[in-house]
Chain A
Amino acid sequence: MTEALLKVDGLRTWLEGSAGVVRALDGVDLEIRRGETFAIVGESGCGKSITALSVARLLPETGRVVDGSVRLGDMDLLALPEAAMRNVRGERIAMIFQEPATSLNPVLTVGMQIGEVLERHIGLRGAAARRRAGELLDAVGIAESARRLDEYPFQLSGGMKQRVMIALALAGEPDLLIADEPTTALDVTIQAQVLDLLRDLQARTGMAILLITHDLGIVADMAHQVAVMYAGQIVEVATRDAFFASAQHPYSRKLFAALPGGRHRGAALAVIPGQVPPLTGEFRGCRFAGRCEHAFERCRTEEPGWTAISDGHRVRCHLRETEPAGPLGEGRSATSQALAPAAGAALLDVQDLKVHFPIRRGLLKRTVGLVRAVDGVSLEIRAGRTLALVGESGCGKTTVGKSLLQLIRPTEGNVTFDGIELTELQGNALRRRRSDFQIVFQDPYASLNPRMRVADILAEGRSALGVLGTPEQESRRIDELLNQVGLDPSARDRYPHEFSGGQRQRIAIARALAVNPRLIVCDEPTSALDVSVQAQILNLLLRLQQEMGLAYLFITHNLAVVEYLADEVAVMYLGRIVEHGTVAEVLDAPRHPYTHALLSAIPTIEGGRERIRLQGELPSPVSPPVGCHFHPRCPDVQARCRAAYPARTQLSATHSVRCFLFGDAYEDEEGRAT
């Protein structure tokens, strides 16, 4: 098994862009052996996906391979005619993509789509093909495969679709599976299921996997070999153990340092200054030199070649030619210290918040059902503190954020901000209070109006709330805001499209700050960003909190960010908070089985956690399971879990949980604790 299955040599791929030729890949070499998982990591725009597309010869029209060779076994893929290449794709190389929702044809049944591949590559038809398709669905862990074959993609959930995609990829019994961010669009518990499945299939079929990801946790979990890409080149290749023990390239080490987590609490995260250089020109010297703190004269004039550190561990860095770097920084030095509950009244107090969306049908739009997006949430946030709201997609955490700000009016419950009941405020009275609480959104590309200049974006909130001063004051204020979020004042006259993702998120934060809020709801503000940019934004948020005493409601699914930033955590499941406490209490000693499972499902670079695999997916909030919402997936389910929802059990002054394992109280029909 030492002979290479896929061998890529000096691959150079150019893309025609409007600003000239983009040298997307500039000399990529890699080797994948049978049965091995080869992971490529790197930030967006470094050429990971283009590598995969070049290997499968699926480049967009504007792209072409200008140099290099791709050999699969003893076949030269780049020399094959397109007709022969079609046989290779599917039969020897299969691909799965990030977005399962758009990778399946919505008007064909699952069985027809798998059957197509079977007929094309194996020549199976009719009953034999159907039998084989059923076996494939069984293999990817889809129950009732015979029934599922006749279903359409819209009848399947996201995780299920990705399983079908994997089944499709396996249909041709490929030697190499290219997985391009296969779990990025999925929730952590589903991600864990899919990764398990891939590992399991690899053990059974011996196929090689080229795994493309930005998540070092997944790499630690899955990979045998790791390659780090930067600006169109692989800068470091190592076995997983060598890589995680002592990554050599300064860029790799920075990626590790930028990961948030409990060990960095209170301190600024390491950031990589600057951005990936544009790939339109030729490079003299090392491509990372401009952002590297160890760069010296030679780095800028001479391109580094490969330096072997040990067997199978190579790096492109002048620094390592003389001596290799030591091991990575020690693991968790100290877990987060428990914070004493802060004195003082709550800034925001939410009691029993409910948001129900009616489902209307028919000509007269009668209400036939309710989506219980938020179903009785209580929480409080004190000034200057951070509460993290954690949960998988669809659990209602974003709806909580929006209904606190009265962007969605709550159906029931109270939201008290600084002693004022917000749910009863209307029109101008509410408008006046709006400067106190603001929101920062997830997608920095959708959250800024592309037709407005930065100065107009920042001034909008102030003019809407009627706090505009004289033009000179406003101009000064805008400069001040841009300074606060670390942007140059010259940014004011530019349009959003001229900025990178991280810079846009800074503008979005500045926009929120413009009206001097006391509370900011951060709705996944970093999940669309690369690790190094995420670190910058987290540093900024932390600094602003320390300087201005802001309170944050931090909505996220990333527990590492929670560990780094939050004081308290609330874990949501299907519209309710199931566990609530300080970061130390919840993350280090989780009590609720769901919190346990959530924590264990997250791939971490430390690894070694006991895994609890959840079955199934989040049920629909239209018809939540009777009793405890979590009982169909719970490993510790009891008979009474199916009958009633557990009431809140107070474990300590700050720690509460809703589970019968810790208390007997339950909620009656009206939601009162009994």
Chain B
Amino acid sequence: MKLVPLWTDVLVWLLVAVLAGYAWYAHRRPHLAAPWRRVSRSNAGMASLVVIGLFAAVGLTDSIHYHPLLPGTQAGAPPVYSVEARSLLDDLLTPLWSRSEKTYSAPLAIRSYSRETVELPGGEVRREFPRLRYGGRHVADERERDRDVVLTVLQGLAWGAMAWATLAAVWVTVLARLRRVTVQTMARRILRRETQVAWIAVFVTLLVAALIVTPVALLAGGYHVFGTDKVGQDVLYLALKSVRTALVIGTLTTLIMLPFAVLLGIAAGYLRGWVDDVIQYVYTTLNSIPGVLLIAAAVLMMQVYIDSHPERFPTAVERADLRLLFLCMILGVTTWTGLARLLRGEALKLRELEYIQAARAFGVRDTRIITRHILPNVMHIVLISLVMDFSFLVLTEAVLSYIGVGVDPTMNSFGTLINNARLEMARDPIVWWTLAAAFGFMFVLVLSANLFADAVRDAFDPRVRVGQAAAEGAG
């Protein structure tokens, strides 16, 4: 196995490292940790965090790409690698992608969705719905299918409940050890919501997730749970692969625009004068260009470059990846203005504050004032807009891919799924499951991102803290 570090993979893992670093840094500083504690007390915040965590797990396992070792290599001979790049997720989901049908099949179907001409053993020719190559193969008698599905679901529920119970028990024990109390005391505290973290919300969400994921996983072994698409690919697999694209767009775009927004916004507000004028003119101009046109032009230019330099991109995955990264960049360039404006206003306010004046009275240099005094005091705004932008960007990707200027057509994303579904909806009989799957996954992801953003905003909103402080002060 030989690792293929794709650009987006590297950036995604870098982001994970940055987040981990921030968590460690904030953990040791009470003023940074306090708002996160408020997030951890919020039921909606913790429940949505769990869901986002599950999506992130899917996305991260899909962000380790490598060339697999070709089978049949002689011992001692130099290893021969496949030319295609696969991800860890692909390997885990091998049963899903390796069992392609010919064409459409409905969820949990055992026969194809379209009639075919079949030659019977007697030489007779008939048009019928043929049995699928893989879906429901283990069911000998077609009438047994419903029973089999129900049994599998029940089995899945049982397994899920057991897995959840084990996890919960282990977790409570670990917590009890850390707090040095008995397991019973810890459990009682959690049930009475006496803990810092809303563990009840975490456990309930995990239970619901377990009761959904396990039956689906068991069913996916024998059926196509969300059906198959036109060329017979499993839709569940496509949807799971789309999660990474959505996460990459949602996070990397912000990561790319952040330096622009923070630097230019604060510089404009703090330095004033001609710097302010130039930066304001730049973002006013950028804002006046229709965003979709700019994105379309940039993406098409990128496509031309990719097509004329095929030697630089050995695999299709790498080609698609570069286009994805480029899309993140261009989205970043067009969306930094909002945050920059916000930060400019905040910096304008902060620069008149007395601690900044005091720093200037010491002759502290501007760069140092910006990094030591202004930046830490606007970070809450950056953080709030970061989580709020995430769902906006996920939806934007879907729209852009739908109109054809988004990600590479070979790349799985919610946008391309929806784009495919466009024609299927017009077909008779209608193929509804691709759209439903894309819709369902995206809805859950965006909803949990929005709920989490709400919880973060509530926790970081200075007005909330002012209210509390006033109540305390009045006493």
CB within 8 Å of B: which residues of A?
A: 15-19, 22-24, 44-45, 47, 49-50, 60, 62-63, 232, 278-280, 402, 405, 407, 430-431, 434, 437-439, 441-443, 446-452, 460-461, 464-465, 495, 497, 508, 511-512, 515
Tell me if B357 and A441 are in contact (CB < 8 A). yes
7 closest residue pairs by CB, A with B:
A22-B475, A431-B363, A447-B354, A461-B362, A441-B354, A451-B376, A464-B364
CB nearest to B472 among chain A residues: A17
Q: Which of B365-386 contact A (CB under 8 A)?
A: 365, 368, 372-373, 376-377
With A17-B468, A451-B31 as given contacts, are A407 and B357 in contact (CB-CB < 8 Å)?
yes
CA gap between A156 and B101 in the complex, in Å = 78
Given contacts A19-B472, A495-B30, contact A439 B377 (CB under 8 A): no
| Contact between chains at A402 and B359 (CB < 8 Å) | no
Instruction: Report the minimal beta-carbon distance from B26 to chain A, rounded to whole angstroms.
Output: 12
CA distance A511 to B359 in the complex (A): 10
A402 to B372 alpha-carbon distance, docked (Å): 22
B355 at the interface (CB under 8 A from A): yes
Contacts between chains A and B (CB distance < 8 A), count: 99
| Smallest beta-carbon distance A359→chain B, Å | 16
Whether A407 and B360, one on each chain, are in contact in the complex, defined by CB atoms closer than 8 angstroms, is yes
A60 to B471, CA, bound (A): 8
Task: Give the nearest-CB partner of A433 in chain B.
Answer: B363
Question: In the bound complex, do residue B355 and residue A449 qualify as a contact, i.e. CB atoms below 8 Å apart?
Answer: yes
- Complex contact B473–A460 (CB within 8 A): no
Contact across chains for B472 and A18 when beta carbons are under 8 A apart: yes
Q: What 0/1 pattern do residues 346 to 361 of B give for CB contact below 8 A with A?
A: 0000000111011111
Q: Which of A17, A60, A437 has the most CB of B within 10 A?
A: A17
Distance from B348 Cβ to chain A, minimum over Cβ atoms (Å): 15
* A contact residues around B357 at 8 Å (CB): 402, 407, 439, 441
Q: In the complex the two chains form, is A278's CB within 8 Å of B354's CB?
A: no
Interface 0/1 of B462-474, CB less than 8 Å to A: 0000011011111
B475, A464: Cβ atoms closer than 8 Å: no
A465 contacts across to B, CB distance below 8 A? 362-363
Contact B364 A460 (CB under 8 A): yes
| Contact between A449 and B362, CB atoms less than 8 A apart | no
For A452, give the chain B residue with the smallest CB separation: B372
B269 shortest CB reach to chain A, Å: 17
Given contacts A278-B475, A407-B357, A465-B362, 4 further A-B contacts (CB under 8 A): A22-B474, A60-B467, A402-B357, A452-B376
Knowing A15-B475, A45-B474, A450-B377, the reply to whether A495 touches B31 (Cβ < 8 A) is yes
Complex contact B475–A17 (CB within 8 A): yes
B377 touches A508 (CB 8 A): no
Looking across the interface, which residue of chain A has its beta carbon closest to that of B364?
A464
Known: A15-B475, A22-B474, A495-B30. A451 touches B365 (CB 8 A): no
Give the residue name and chain of the B residue nearest to A431 (CB).
B363
A99 to B380, CA, bound (A): 29
CB distance from B474 to the nearest CB of A (A): 5
Residues B353 and A446 in contact, CB atoms below 8 Å apart:
yes
Find the B residue at minimum CB distance from A445: B354
A495 proximity list for chain B (CB < 8 A) = 30-31
0/1 per residue, B87-109, Cβ < 8 Å to A? 00000000000000000000000
User: In the complex where A441-B357, A443-B354, A446-B353 touch, is A15 in contact with B474 (Cβ < 8 A)?
Assistant: yes
Task: Assess the B364–A447 pair: CB atoms within 8 A.
Answer: no
Q: Identify which of B354, B357, B470 gathers the most chain A CB atoms within 10 Å of its CB.
A: B354
A-B contact pairs, 7 of them (CB 8 A): A16-B471, A45-B475, A63-B471, A402-B357, A434-B361, A437-B361, A441-B354
Minimum CB distance partner of A511 in chain B = B358
Kindly state the separation between the CA atoms of A512 and B359 in the bound complex, as whole angstroms: 10
| Most chain B beta-carbon contacts within 10 A, residue among A442, A443, A451 | A451
For B356, give the chain A residue with the smallest CB separation: A449
Tell me, in angstroms, the Cα distance from A499 to B281 when the chains sit together.
43
Question: Is there an interface contact between A22 and B354, defined as CB atoms closer than 8 Å?
Answer: no
**Proximity string of chain B (239-283) to chain A, C-beta cutoff 8 Å, 1 when within and 0 when not:** 000000000000000000000000000000000000000000000
Hey, which chain B residues are within 8 Å of A434, CB to CB? Answer: 361-363
The CB with the most chain B CB atoms within 10 A, among A439, A465, A512, is that of: A439
Contact A50 B359 (CB under 8 A): no
Q: What B residues does A512 contact at CB under 8 A?
A: 358
Within 8 A of A (CB), among B82-128: none
Return the chain B residue nearest A48 by Cβ: B474
Closest to B375 in A: A451
Most A CB contacts (10 A, CB to CB) among B31, B372, B468 go to B31
Minimum Cβ distance to chain B for residue A524 (Å): 11
Instruction: Among B358, B365, B372, B471, point to the contact of A441 (Cβ < 8 A).
Output: B358
Q: Which residues of A contact B475 (CB under 8 A)?
A: 15, 17, 22-24, 45, 47, 232, 278-280
Give the distance to chain B from A462, nearest Cβ to Cβ, in Å: 8
> Within the assembled complex, what's the spacing in Å between the Cα atoms of A46 and B265?
42
Q: B472 near A447 (CB under 8 angstroms)?
A: no
Say whether B359 contacts A464, CB under 8 Å: yes
The listed residue (A15, A23, A407, A439) touching B471 by CB distance below 8 A is A15
B421-475 CB contacts (< 8 Å) to partner A: 467-468, 470-475
Q: Which residues of B contact A446 (CB under 8 A)?
A: 353-355
Give chain A residues whose Cβ lies under 8 Å from the Cβ of B473. 44-45
**Interchain CA distance A451-B32 in the complex, whole Å:** 8
Is B363 a contact of A464 with CB atoms below 8 Å? yes
In whole angstroms, how far apart are the Cα atoms of A232 and B364 in the complex? 44
Give the residue name and chain of the A residue nearest to B362 (CB): A461
Q: Report the Cα distance A242→B128, complex, angstroms.
A: 108
Known: A49-B474, A60-B471, A497-B31. A449 touches B361 (CB 8 A): no
CA distance A18 to B464 in the complex (A): 11
Q: Which residues of A contact B467 (CB under 8 A)?
A: 60, 62
Contact of A17 among B365, B368, B471 (CB under 8 A): B471
How far is B440's CA from A653's CA once the two chains are assembled, in angstroms?
A: 88
Residues A448 and B361 in contact, CB atoms below 8 Å apart = no
Q: Using Cβ atoms and an 8 Å threshold, which residues of chain B touch A452?
A: 372, 376
Q: Are A450 and B31 in contact (CB under 8 A)?
A: yes
* Chain B, residue nearest A278 (CB): B475
Closest-CB distance, A358 to chain B (whole angstroms):
13
- B353 closest partner in A (C-beta): A446
Q: Are A60 and B353 in contact (CB under 8 A)?
A: no
Q: In the complex, which residues of chain A have a beta carbon less than 8 angstroms from the beta carbon of B364?
A: 460-461, 464
Contacts of B373 in A (CB 8 A): 449
Tell whether, in the assembled complex, residue B358 and residue A447 are in contact, meaning their CB atoms are under 8 Å apart. yes
Residues of B within 8 A of A437 (CB): 361
Pairwise interchain contact A439-B358, C-beta atoms closer than 8 A: yes
Residues of B within 8 A of A438 (CB): 361-362
A297 to chain B, nearest CB (A): 28
Cα–Cα distance between A407 and B178 once the two chains are bound (Å) = 53
Q: Which of B354, B471, B475 has the most CB of A within 10 A?
A: B475
| Chain A residues whose C-beta falls within 8 Å of the C-beta of B472 in the assembled complex | 17-19, 22
Q: Of the candidates A22, A450, A460, which one forms a contact with B362 in the assembled complex, judged by CB atoms under 8 Å apart?
A: A460
Q: Please give me the residue from chain B that is nearest to A457 by CB atom.
A: B355
Cα–Cα distance between A584 and B468 once the two chains are bound (Å): 47
Q: Which residues of B contact A497 (CB under 8 A)?
A: 31
**Bound complex: CA A377 to CA B373 (Å):** 33
Chain A residue, CB-CB nearest to B376: A451
Separation of A450 and B32 alpha carbons in the complex (Å): 11
**Shortest beta-carbon distance from B359 to chain A in Å:** 7
**Given A431-B363, A441-B357, A22-B377 contact (CB < 8 Å):** no
Set of chain B residues within 8 Å of A431, measured between Cβ atoms: 363
Cα A644 to Cα B475 in complex, Å, equals 55
Whole-angstrom distance between the Cβ of B375 and the nearest chain A Cβ? 9
CB distance from A184 to the nearest CB of B (A): 16
